[in-house]
Structure 1
Amino acid sequence: MKMYFHFGDEKYVLFQHWHAESPGAMLGACCAIFCLAVLYEGLKEFRTQLKLDPPGSTSESPVRPDSEFRSLLVDGADSRFISSISSCRHLVQTALHMLQAILSYCLMLVFMTFNLWLCLALVLGLGAGYFVFGWSRDTPEGNDAQQCQ
């Protein structure tokens, strides 16, 4: 394995059966990596939106004050703590967190191949994913999106 950035051909991409030996196979691998990076950004934004706006919530903040959370841990018998940690929403967030972690480590391993084509596809995919999914973070609520001048 080459431990420096290069444009060379790779034998494998992440898995033994994912070969990128020809230019067409490398193009296909780059497209797949691009899509995985876009998916990663979409998943990250989806988890953020689930955390900020839980279904059926009011305008109050879903985050508990630190002192209230500590008292729940100390008491240990509070049913709100038990019901919130075992809620369906928390289980879905946990599963999505594990999926996001697996995807992020796979993308890190792709970058660690040091193949510049794959690295470029990964960075462009992350940028495109942020462009598509991350726009809501850049605009304050209630204001129209500002255009570049």
Structure 2
Amino acid sequence: MDMSMDDAINLASGEMLPYLHFTPGDILWFQGWVPSSAGAMVGTCIGLLLLAMVERWIAAARAVMNYHWSQRAYVNYPACQEQDALPVTALESESKQTPSTRSYAVVRSTTRILPPFVFEHDVPRGIFLILQAALSYAFMLVVMTWQLGFIFSILVGLGIGEMLFGRFANHDLHLP
């Protein structure tokens, strides 16, 4: 039995074509997923188009949530709180001033450079990134089939998804 790696790989319905083509019969992610008829190819292309749109939606949702979480992190964990400040005139009688009219001198004024780690924010942020990366790798595997129908479906889906959701994924969000 010849175990040479130079032999062509026989797949479910034929050999992998190492060039761009429109012919059906390429394996899509698993050996059982081989769209071989025209209807199966159309269905696969529509599914890939929708999946590419979902990838853009995940990117937009991730950007919006990052903005929301960054605002919440600074509200929940301010850099300087009232207990970090002392009254300006410590010798003054407290009977003259109420806590609302008392002036404070900031003893420690630190500006937070890095946002704090917030479990409720950072775990979903990681999950969004995992989903987006998994879809990107899955699309890479589809492109490696060299099937132009699949490739065009992904590209068109990414374009439509960007038109629908791209304005939300802007890194300079100024939401109300």
Whether TM-score is above 0.5 comes out as yes
- 2:129 maps to which of 97, 103, 110: 97
Report the CA distance between 1:68 and its aligned residue. Answer: 3.8
State the one-letter code of the partner of 2:38: P
Cα deviations by residue, 1:105-143 (Å, 9 ceiling, x for unpaired): 00111111111111110100000000100034399859x
Which runs of 5 or more structure 2 residues have no equivalent in the other structure? Answer: 1-15, 76-111
**Conserved 8 A contact 2:21-2:146:** yes
**Conserved 8 A contact 1:10-1:115:** no
- 1:109 maps to which of 141, 145, 148: 141
Match in the other structure for 1:46: 61
Q: CA RMSD in A?
A: 3.3
* CA distance, structure 1, for counterparts of residue 142 and residue 34 of structure 2: 13
Taking every aligned residue pair, what percent have the same amino acid on both sides?
A: 28
Larger radius of gyration: 2
Match in the other structure for 1:126: 158
What's the TM-score, normalizing by structure 1?
0.72
Which runs of 5 or more structure 1 residues have no equivalent in the other structure? Answer: 61-66, 70-79, 143-149
What's the TM-score, normalizing by structure 2?
0.62
Match in the other structure for 2:38: 23
State the one-letter code of the partner of 1:19: V
CA shift in 2, pair 1:140/1:93, >3 Å: closer
The total of aligned residue pairs comes to 127
